[in-house]
A and B are shown apart, each in its own frame.
Chain A
C-alpha cells in the first residue's frame, strides 16, 4: 500500500498529493512517470511526477479530476492509500547544457516541468518557464516555478493573471527577444502541438511529453503506441518525451479519446454511486 501523506487542493478539482513510494523515489529522474491503481477493481493509469524526496521516500503528483479514475484519486484523503504505485517508468528528460531553455506547462504539466527545470538549472542553463490557464484560479505551481526558474511567464485566456493570451503568445515574445536553444512542453495536446508548430520553422529542438493511455507501462501491451517520424513508438518505454516536430498529433488525439464514451458512462456511474453513499451517510 502506498499512503497519501498530504493532500492539497491547488486549483478547482485539482489536487497535489505527496505519497509514500520509497522504491520509486530512490531512482526517479525528471520526466519519468508512475502507473497507479486505486483499488482492486481499478484501472492502471500513468501520472507525471512533479516532485520527489529520495530520503523521505516520497513522490508528488498532480491529479485533475476528469474521468472516473481521476475522480477516485481526487476523492482520496490524506491517510488513504493507493493499492499500487509502479515506477519510475519512461526515459528521463534528456538534460545537458543547452543555453537558454523554455519549459512550458499546461494543467498537470505545470507540475511536471518543475523537476525538469531544476535539473536544467543544475546544468547551468538559463531556464524560463511559461504556464498558462484559462483563468487565474486554475494556475498550478506558479509560485514554485517562479522560485525555481530564472523567469516565469504567466498567461491566462481572460487576462486575470499575467499576460492575456495563450502560452504560445508568451513563447513568441521570448523568441522575438532572444535566442532559445531548447523547448519542452507538457500538457494538453493542442498546446504541445501549437508550441511545436511555432518552434519547427525556427529549428529549435522541442520535446513534448505524451500522456497516452497505458495498461502495464513496461512495454508489454502497446496501448501507448504513437507514430513519431513515421515509426511506431511505445510511449511507456521509448518516451514519454518525443520530438514535438515529429509526432502524429491527430492520431495521438484519436487514440487518447478511444474510450471517451465508456469513460463518460463510467464517470456518471461513479458520481451516482458517490451521491447515493453520501445520501445514506
Chain B
C-alpha cells in the first residue's frame, strides 16, 4: 500500500456509499445509507495522501487522530483503526452517521482543496460498524477508583460523553435522565433511517461496562434540585440538559389541531413508535398535505419522516433562500430526492383553521433577501402584498429550541444569558456555581451532536482538574 505515490492516490475517485434508492426508502424507516464495504473503505482510505501537516484533525471537535485511523484502514487493520477512533470518540458509529463532516474534518482535508476530500465520515462509520458487528468490541474499563463521584444531568450526547470520560478516569458516575430511556436527542430527535436504534443501544452499552449508574424518570429541577444532588454527596455535577423547549412562531393559529412542533412530531414517531400504532399506544395524526416550517436538521428530519408516512405531499417552507439553510447539504438533498417539495423565501404569517379548530391552510408571504444580519446571513424582508395560502392539514414547526428552564431557572446563583443559556468558562466548562459544569446545547442554544461531545470533553477535563485540586488527588488528566 505504501507503494502508492501521491499522484496515484489523488487519481482514485472518491467513493460514494450505496444508499437505498429514493423511491424505495421513502416508503420505509430502514437506514438510508448502507455504508461502505471493506474493499470500498480500504480504497477510499488510500486516497489520503498522508500529508505532513494534516488539517483534518483540527476540523474535528473531539480531535480524532484521523490520519492514523485512515492509514490503518488502508492497511486493512480495521480493529486497530477502531481503537484509534475510540481513543477520542466513544460514539463513532453514531458520529459516522450524524456528524456534518462536510463542515468539519472533510472541509479541512488537504486533497479536498483541489478535488474531493477523503470520505472520512463514511470510513469512520465503516470502522465502527465493522468492530460492532465483528463481536470483538474492545470494552472500555473504568479507571482505578478516585473515590470521587460525579452526577450528570441529561443523557444525550454531552452527558454520555462526560460519563465515559469521567468513568474512565476512575470517578463514580451517575446519569440522571428525565425520559424513560437514556440517549436524549439521539432517541427522540434523530429518525431511525438516519440513526438506527440498535446502533445507539450498542454504543450506549459501554456505559454499563464502565459502571455508570443510569437513573431514568428523574426530572432534575423538579424531583431533585442541583442543591439536592450536591447534598447527596456528589463532588461535582455536569449539566447536559440540551435546549429542549421548542420555539414557536408566535403567529395566529399556531395551536390549531394539526400543528406540531418538530420535537413532538419526532418524539411521537421515534421514541414512542407512533408508526406502529395501535400496537404501540402513542398515536400521531396527519393528513394529505404536510408542511414543514424551517430548514435546519430537525426540519429535514420532520420532512423525511413525513414523506415515509406517504401523504400526498410534503412541502418545506423556509423564509430565507436555499443558500442560507442551516441543515446539512446532504439532508436537504436526501429530502428532495425522496420527494419533499421546497418553497424558499416564503414565510408563514398565520395558520387558518376550520370551524373545528382543525388546520386547513397556512397564509404565507414571499420574502426577498436584504443586507446581512447579525448571523452573517442575508436578512429576509417581506414583500408587501405577496400573500398567498398553502392548503394543508398538518404543519410541523421546526425553528430550533430555546433552553428548557426546568433546571436552569430552579438553580439560584446560576448565571444565564438573557436568552437563558448557561454561562460557562470556555476553558473548563465550569458555570458560575463552583463544581457545576455544563456542556452541549445548554451552553450554546443548539448545535450538533459532535460539538456537544467536544464541549463535554472540555467539561470532563475541567471536572477532573477541579476534583484534583479540591481533593488533592494525585492524578493527571490523561486525555482518553
Please list the residues of chain A having a beta carbon within 8 angstroms of any beta carbon in chain B: 23-24, 26-27, 37, 41-44, 68-69, 72, 83-89, 215-216, 218-223, 225-227, 232, 234, 237, 248, 250-251, 254-255, 258-259, 262-263, 265-266, 269
Contacts and interface: CB of A to CB of B under 8 A. Distances in A.
B406 A237 contact: yes
Nearest to B221: A218
B222 A251 contact: no
Contact of B281 (A219, A220, A225, A266): A266
Nearest to A226: B255
Interface stretch (B8-16, B102-110, B246-254): B246-254
B264 A223 contact: yes
Contact of A262 (B248, B272, B283): B283
B406 A87 contact: no
A222 B279 contact: no
Given A23-B218, A266-B283, 7 more contacts: A215-B272, A220-B188, A221-B261, A225-B254, A237-B405, A251-B256, A258-B257
A263 B283 contact: yes
A250 B358 CA distance: 11
Contacts of A69: 281
7 contacts: A44-B282, A88-B222, A232-B254, A237-B405, A250-B357, A254-B356, A262-B283
B277 A266 contact: yes
Contacts of B246: 220-222
A251 B263 CA distance: 21
B285 A219 contact: no
B223 A27 contact: yes
Chain B interface residue number, banded: 35 or more
Contact of A215 (B219, B257, B268): B268
Contacts of B223: 23-24, 26-27, 87-88
Contact of B264 (A222, A232, A254): A222
B267 interface: yes
A87 B255 contact: no
B279 A41 contact: yes
A269 B278 CA distance: 8
A222 B262 CA distance: 9
Contacts of B218: 23
Contacts, number: 123
Contacts of A41: 273, 279-281
A24 B178 CA distance: 13
Contacts of B258: 258
B328 to A, nearest CB: 23
Contacts of A269: 278
B224 interface: yes
A255 B264 contact: no
A26 B222 CA distance: 10
A254 B244 contact: no
A84 B180 contact: yes
B222 A27 contact: yes
B283 A87 contact: no
Given A220-B245, A232-B254, A254-B357, A265 B406 contact: no
By CB atoms of chain B within 10 A, which of A68, A72, A222, A226 has the most?
A222
Nearest to B179: A216
B244 A215 contact: no
B6 to A, nearest CB: 50
Contact of A255 (B250, B357, B404): B357
Interface of B: 178-180, 188, 216-219, 222-224, 244-246, 248, 250, 254-258, 260-261, 263-264, 267-268, 272-273, 277-283, 285, 356-358, 404-406
Contact of B222 (A89, A215, A221, A227): A89
A67 B223 CA distance: 28
A265 B285 contact: no
Nearest to A256: B257
Contacts of B257: 254-255, 258
Nearest to B223: A23
A166 B283 CA distance: 34
Contact of B404 (A27, A87, A215, A220): A220
Contact of A218 (B178, B248, B250, B281): B178
A228 to B, nearest CB: 10
Given A23-B224, A218-B404, A232-B250, A43 B281 contact: yes
Residue among B223, B260, B405, B406 facing the most chain A CB atoms (10 A cut-off): B223
A72 B277 CA distance: 16
Contacts of A221: 246, 261, 263-264, 267
| Nearest 9 pairs of A and B residues by beta carbon | A254-B357, A221-B264, A43-B281, A262-B283, A222-B261, A43-B282, A266-B278, A259-B283, A220-B244
A93 to B, nearest CB: 15
A253 to B, nearest CB: 8
A89 B217 CA distance: 12
Contacts of A43: 272, 280-283
Contacts of A87: 219, 222-223
Nearest to B189: A220
A89 B219 contact: yes
Contacts of B224: 23, 27
A248 B353 CA distance: 15
A88 B264 CA distance: 21
Q: In the complex, which of the residues A44, A219, A223, A269 has the most CB atoms of chain B within 10 Å of its own CB atom?
A: A219
B255 A225 contact: yes
B178 A86 contact: yes
A221 B267 CA distance: 7
Nearest to B404: A219
Task: Give the one of B222, B248, B279 with max A CB within 10 A.
Answer: B222
B406 A85 contact: no
A224 to B, nearest CB: 9
A89 B406 CA distance: 10
B219 A86 contact: yes
Contacts of A227: 255
Contacts of B244: 218-220
A258 B285 contact: yes
A219 B405 contact: yes
Given A222-B264, A232-B254, A84 B280 contact: no
A83 B216 CA distance: 11
Contacts of A89: 219, 222
A85 B216 CA distance: 10
A254 B246 CA distance: 21
Choose among B219, B267, B277 the residue with the greatest number of A CB atoms under 10 Å from its CB.
B219
B307 to A, nearest CB: 21
A85 B223 CA distance: 11
